[in-house]
Amino acid sequence: MRQHQGKTSDSLIFSSSVADTAVTKAPVESPRLGFDGGRWDNTAPPASLDRRLADWSPPQASSAIWVLIAAIIMTFAAISSALIVRQGASLDWRHLALPRILYANTGVLLFSSFSLLIAGRRFASSRFVDARIWLYVTLAAGLLFVAGQWDAWLQLRSQGVYLATNPNSSFFYVLTVAHALHVIGGICGLTYVIRKANRLALRKNTFAALCRYWHFVDLLWIYLMVLLIVKI
Among 10, 32, 39, 68, binds other proteins (CB under 8 A): 68
Q: What is the largest CA-CA distance in the chain?
A: 72
The interface region with other proteins, picked from 3-11, 99-107, 113-121, 150-158 by CB under 8 A, is 3-11
CA 185 to chain centroid: 8
- Ramachandran angles phi, psi of 19, nearest 5°: -70, -30
The interface region with other proteins, picked from 24-32, 41-49, 151-159, 190-198 by CB under 8 A, is 24-32
Counting other chains too, the contacts that 15-22 makes at CB distance below 8 Å and 24 or more residues apart are 18/51, 18/52, 19/52, 22/52
User: Is the CB of residue 158 less than 8 Å from the CB of residue 97?
Assistant: no
Among 85, 97, 129, 230, binds other proteins (CB under 8 A): 85
**Contact status: 49 vs other proteins (CB under 8 A):** no
Candidates 211, 184, 185, 49; CA nearest to 123 is 211
Minimal distance, residue 166 CB to other proteins, in Å: 8
Spatial neighbors of 220 by CB under 8 A, at least 6 apart, are: 72, 76, 179, 182
Among 17, 47, 48, 67, binds other proteins (CB under 8 A): 67
Cβ-based nearer residue to other proteins, 83 or 131: 83
Interacting residues toward other proteins by CB under 8 A: 1-7, 11, 16, 19-26, 28, 30, 52-54, 56, 59-61, 63-64, 67-68, 70-72, 74-75, 77-79, 81-82, 85-86, 89-93, 163-164, 167, 170, 174, 178
